[in-house]
Chain A
Amino acid sequence: MTGAGVISESLFRGQPFESHVVGDGPTVGYLHGTLGVASAVPFLTATASTGLTVVAPSLPGFGSSEPCSDLRTLFDWVCAASEVLDLVAVSGKPCVASSIGAMLALEVAAVRPDAFEELVLVAPFGLWDDAQPVADPFGVTLGVQRELLTVDVEKTATFFENDPSLDADGKISETVQQYQARSTAASLIWPIPEFGLSSRIHRVTCPVTLIWGAQDAIIPVDYLERFASLLPNVVGAHIIEDAGHLVEIDRPDEVAQIVSKAFNR
């Protein structure tokens, strides 16, 4: 991956999984959102340029990390995410997490409060309000899904389009990889992304900074207040203009600056 530093491969339950390492400085983790790590490369490099090393594992089913058929329930996923954080030595470190990754980070921290030194969370899933339901990002066409995720759809081209330089077989492999990532993301939040987090979120005691895109078309921006009211140690909250659900993809530099300030205090 050009500009994304080193991609290391290790084993998760006997299957290869990839992890991206960018920068030179204190380590921070990044738990990706629905599209995986590749679309967030500008954010990784922007964060690294602030003097941090970003370690960004691709969860099973994303990028070139093999899907894991044993992951059926949220409990399975919490155990898996916790295991991955240990494998890439991010446990106990500060971490940025986005969307489904932010939901997983909260769930991991709820059962393992020392899992993160500090969190920056970008539009986490995990709460539900009947008056403002979270949109269904997967009961739509791919074109609509793309529009729901970011304000600037060009920034998700690596996920929604085939690399024109690939041959026919390469394009099929890329399509399969994109499909697996969508499948895994959908499976994490199907059919409604609420699994009881509100009853255990009080256990997330580390400092948390919240970030939301003002134009988030999936989780209404009002959810920022809901998370802020339930988390015991919120130290910052930011609403970013001209940003959709995946804020770090729409506005990589702004999110990197927030991360830098949060983690370099």
Chain B
Amino acid sequence: MKTIYFHLMPYPELPADFQQKHRSVWVDIDPSLFDPNVGNRAYNAYIDQIEYAAGLGFDGIGVNEHHSNGYGMMPSPNLIASILARSCPDIAILILGDSVALYNPPIRVAEEIAMLDCISGGRIIAGFPVGSPMDTAFAYGQNPATLREKYYEGVDLIRAAWAADEPFAFNGNFTKLRYVNCWPRPIQRPSPPIWIPGGGSVETWSWCAEKNLPYLYLSYFGYKAAEQSMSGYWEAMGEAGREPNPFAAGFVQFIGVGATEKEAYDLYREPAEYFFNRSLHVYAGFADPPGYKSVETVRAGVEGMVERAAREATQRKMAPVKQGSQSKLTFDEMVEKGYVVLGSPEQVVEKLKTIATDLNVGRLIALCQFGNMSSDLAKYNAELMATKVLPEIREMFESEWKDEWWISPSESRVRMAEGVPT
């Protein structure tokens, strides 16, 4: 089992009445809510947290891309990855990822990942998401009806560019380049590992199966919500004649570890409530632009992660207020529904083992910092996770299955944190 310490870099000071006074945390979030001085403190604190986690024993560290988003302050994950490539000298770096269709031309992604792979000595894992509707269709103005085709084309271009031994011409429907020549080239040949994050689109499962690329189900709604998607993915893998190798799959999970169950409940209540009731407040009109979903996904009735968040937020808001009820998701509900895995180290180990087995996933994208969690608490959580939980789950699947989608660092690489050798 490979566990990635993953960070969203949320804006930590959204007002308490954000849900009541603002329409959305994404796309049209009020610019005046962003205090650059808070940004200064938050970015540095978050980079510290990732660097700290990198030294604890996680298998990898991870960053991602969002735009105009109050819970994800990384429009460019590659900028953060470039810092980590130098300050974290041994660990895998997962960029989950660059939204290929947003780059014009997408060869820019090939170049930047190649740079990072060189700087890090071959430790980059390239995640290629189609991208959320908010990021792609609204913040970046991409046509939802052609987004997926443009994405597929971009991924093909990047992979061809990394693998090529000589310049070539690329005549796509969306990108036309007379000269494709990715200079620098990545250390890992023919390419860094490519993982595909998804939010439940039916056609992504069969595409991953066809291309032999691991699929990671990105959901903030925990393992229970992942069951439908993961079973659909494994079905597609079976139809493609692929083995059910758990390393070909992963999922995202909020995790809060305490010395005891009670401590975990006490410590993580506030940051979880902050995330689910403030950070995840998305206007429903941004969640499902027409054309973003394929016909197959519409026909299957599969609901995307953010679409669900927006729908549930709207339903809570519209529900008549009864005595004793409230419009916000309660912490107990978050735990009960599996949005947050919480407890003592033993409880978390047991739960994660069950999840990994049930979903057959060999990659855990662990969100140990969420909402407005302080740096001290984030580091405490990461430390308990790394020292008490990971040793108990690390060996899962390792003896039965080969992980063919992991990094291949150069043995002669420069370990940057130690300084450049003379």
A139: chain B residues at CB < 8 Å are 27, 138, 285-286, 289
Is B47 in contact with chain A by the CB < 8 A criterion? no
Known contacts A139-B285, A141-B285, A144-B285; A172/B299 CB under 8 A: yes
Chain B contacts for A183, CB-based, 8 A: 144-145, 290-291
Chain A residue nearest to B287 (CB atoms) is A141
A179–B298 CB distance below 8 A? yes
Instruction: Provide a sorted-by-A list of 24 A–B residue pairs whose CB atoms are within 8 angstroms.
Output: A69-B149, A72-B143, A72-B174, A139-B285, A139-B286, A141-B284, A144-B285, A175-B298, A176-B298, A179-B290, A179-B293, A183-B145, A183-B290, A184-B145, A184-B291, A186-B289, A186-B291, A187-B146, A187-B291, A190-B141, A190-B143, A190-B145, A191-B141, A191-B143
A202 within 8 A of B: no
B-contact bits for A181-221, CB 8 A (1 contact / 0 none):
01111110011100000000000000000000000000000
A140 in contact (CB, < 8 A): yes
Tally of chain B residues near chain A (CB < 8 A): 24
Q: Which residues 123-144 in A have Cβ within 8 Å of B in the complex?
A: 138-141, 144
* Inter-chain contact A179/B284, CB cutoff 8 Å: no
Query: What 0/1 readout, one digit per residue, does chain B (226-269) give for beta carbons within 8 Å of chain A?
Result: 00000000000000000000000000000000000000000000
Whether the pair B290, A72 counts as a contact (CB closer than 8 A) is no
Residues of B contacting A184 in the complex (Cβ-Cβ under 8 angstroms) = 145, 291
Q: Which residues of A contact B143 (CB under 8 A)?
A: 72, 186-187, 190-191
Q: Which of B264-321 touch A at CB < 8 Å?
A: 284-286, 289-291, 293, 295, 298-299, 301, 314
> Residue B137 at the A interface, CB < 8 A?
yes
Query: Which chain A residue shows the least CB distance to B285?
Result: A140
Which residues of A are at the interface with B, using a C-beta cutoff of 8 A? 69, 72, 138-141, 144, 172, 175-176, 179-180, 182-187, 190-192
Determine the distance from Cα of A179 to Cα of B144 in the docked complex, in whole angstroms: 12
B20 on the interface (CB 8 Å rule)? Answer: no
Nearest-CB residue, chain A, relative to B141: A191
Complex CA gap A180/B138 in Å reads: 19
**A139-B285, A139-B286, A179-B290 known; A187+B144 contact, CB < 8 A:** yes
Residue of A nearest to B301 (CB): A172
- Apart from A172-B299, A179-B293, A190-B137, what are 15 other A-B pairs with CB-CB below 8 Å? A139-B286, A141-B284, A141-B314, A175-B298, A182-B291, A183-B145, A184-B145, A185-B290, A186-B144, A186-B290, A187-B291, A190-B145, A191-B138, A191-B143, A192-B141
Q: Which B residue's beta carbon lies closest to that of A72?
A: B146
User: Which residues of A have CB within 8 Å of B149?
Assistant: 69, 72
Give the complex CA separation of A140 and B310 in angstroms. Answer: 12
Q: Which residues of B contact A141 (CB under 8 A)?
A: 284-285, 314
Q: How far is the CA of A190 from the CA of B174 in the complex (A)?
A: 16
Whether, in the assembled complex, B412 has its beta carbon less than 8 Å from a beta carbon of chain A, the answer is no
Using a CB–CB cutoff of 8 Å, the interface residues on chain B facing chain A are 27, 137-138, 141-146, 149, 173-174, 284-286, 289-291, 293, 295, 298-299, 301, 314
Chain B residues with CB under 8 Å of A176's CB are 295, 298-299
CB distance from B232 to the nearest CB of A (A): 17
Q: CA separation between A228 and B7, bound complex, in Å? A: 54
**Shortest Cβ distance from A122 into chain B, in angstroms?**
21
CA distance A190 to B291 in the complex (A): 11
The minimal Cβ–Cβ distance linking B69 to chain A, given in whole angstroms, is: 16
CB A23 to nearest CB in B, in angstroms, measures 32
Q: Which residues of B contact A187 (CB under 8 A)?
A: 143-146, 291
Complex contact B145–A186 (CB within 8 A): yes
Contacts of B314 in A (CB 8 A): 141
Bound form: Cα–Cα A184–B143 in Å: 10
